[in-house]
């Protein structure tokens, strides 16, 4: 849609984004999709464990599976791409050495920090496991990535639809992770060229949703 020099600003993308249900069949060029995914994966995550992945669904079979999983919603059928954000509940238990090596190579973390961070991060995750909160935290990380993706797509001139109303097991079947209890579906996000215009429905005033110091407390 656009070259990088003409991307809209973050504030403009936030104000321009609307949820679009109907799409033109125009494909997303591979280089732009790659750029969008790169920006998506820049999202922060707890302890930088990056316990989230993105499944790019663009083939006919996968899109049909997502239509079934969403009870016939039109977005997966019409949009050229639907991204499925997967929360990885147990990936923190795997080898994290590549994360620490990247931080070394980038000059971001020294050896003392890595040793401390690795130990503290693992302790934090073990505590989450004991309290039954692994899914909640992994889904949070996946949702942050999805938000980055929505705004990046908008800045590139694409429409999006963050989708609720899906059957998790059916979504898992559509992306090949049926039966994986260590993985959870956080969000479906359709992306493409809009085939409709949606006006801003408005937001409540600050006085209704912004508080200072304590919930319910105005300035």
In this predicted model, what pLDDT tens digit does every residue of 128-183 receive, in sequence order? 999 999 999 999 999 999 999 999 999 999 999 999 899 999 999 999 999 999 99
| In a domain? residue 98 | no
| In a domain? residue 37 | yes
| In a domain? residue 99 | no
| In a domain? residue 108 | no
| In a domain? residue 110 | no
| In a domain? residue 116 | no
Does 92 score more than 80 pLDDT?
yes
Q: How far apart are CA 180 and CA 207, in angstroms?
A: 44
Q: pLDDT tier at 4 (50, 70, 90 boundaries)?
A: very low
CATH of the domain at 87: 3.40.109.10
Q: pLDDT tier at 7 (50, 70, 90 boundaries)?
A: confident
- For 175-208, b/e burial (b = at least 16 CB within 10 A) is bebeeeeebbbbbbbbbbbbbeeeeeeeeeeeee
**Mean pLDDT of the residues in the chain:** 96
Does 205 score more than 60 pLDDT?
yes
Q: What is the mean pLDDT of residues 75-84?
A: 98
Cα dihedral across residues 170, 173, 177, 181: positive or negative: positive
Q: pLDDT tier at 215 (50, 70, 90 boundaries)?
A: very high
Q: Which of 5-9, 84-88, 132-136, 213-217 has the lowest mean pLDDT?
A: 5-9
Q: How far apart are CA 139 and CA 185, in angstroms?
A: 8
Q: Which residue has the higher pLDDT, 130 or 3?
A: 130
pTM of the shown model: 0.95
Q: pLDDT tier at 35 (50, 70, 90 boundaries)?
A: very high
Q: How many domains does the chain have?
A: 1
The range of the structural domain enclosing residue 176 comes to 4-92+131-209
Q: pLDDT tier at 1 (50, 70, 90 boundaries)?
A: very low
Which tokens belong to 71? 């009870």
Q: How far apart are CA 96 and CA 207, in angstroms?
A: 44
The predicted structure's pLDDT at residue 143: 98
How much of the chain, in percent, has pLDDT values that exceed 70? 97
Q: Given phi > 0 = left and psi -120 to 50 = alpha, else beta, which region is 80? A: alpha
The predicted structure's pLDDT at residue 6: 67
Q: How far apart are CA 135 and CA 88, in angstroms?
A: 8
The predicted structure's pLDDT at residue 107: 97
How much of the chain, in percent, has pLDDT values that exceed 90? 95
Which tokens belong to 67? 């239509």
Q: How far apart are CA 43 and CA 49, in angstroms?
A: 11
Chain length of the chain: 219
Q: Which residue has the higher pLDDT, 1 or 97?
A: 97
Q: Which residues pair with 161 in a beta bridge?
A: 190
| In a domain? residue 165 | yes
In this predicted model, what pLDDT tens digit does every residue of 61-72 receive, in sequence order? 999 999 999 999
| In a domain? residue 187 | yes
């Amino acid at each position: 849609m656009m070259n990088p020099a003409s991307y809209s600003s973050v504030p403009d993308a936030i104000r321009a984004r609307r949820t679009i249900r109907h799409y033109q069949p125009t494909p997303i060029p591979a280089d732009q999709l790659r750029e969008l995914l790169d920006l998506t994966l820049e999202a922060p995550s707890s302890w930088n464990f990056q316990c989230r992945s993105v499944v790019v669904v663009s083939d006919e079979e996968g899109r049909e599976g997502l239509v079934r999983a969403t009870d016939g919603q039109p977005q997966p059928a019409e949009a050229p791409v639907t991204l499925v954000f997967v929360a990885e509940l147990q990936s923190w238990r795997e080898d994290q050495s590549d994360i620490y090596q990247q931080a070394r190579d980038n000059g971001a973390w020294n050896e003392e920090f890595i040793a401390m961070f690795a130990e503290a991060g693992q302790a934090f995750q073990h505590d989450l496991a004991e309290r039954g909160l692994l899914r909640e935290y992994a889904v949070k990380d996946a949702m942050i990535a999805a938000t980055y993706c929505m705004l990046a797509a908008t800045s590139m001139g694409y429409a999006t639809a963050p989708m609720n109303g899906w059957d998790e097991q059916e979504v898992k079947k559509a992306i090949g992770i049926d039966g994986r209890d260590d993985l959870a579906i956080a969000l479906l996000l359709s992306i493409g060229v809009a085939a409709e215009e949606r006006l801003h429905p408005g937001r409540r005033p600050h006085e209704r949703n912004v508080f200072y110091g304590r919930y319910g407390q105005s300035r």
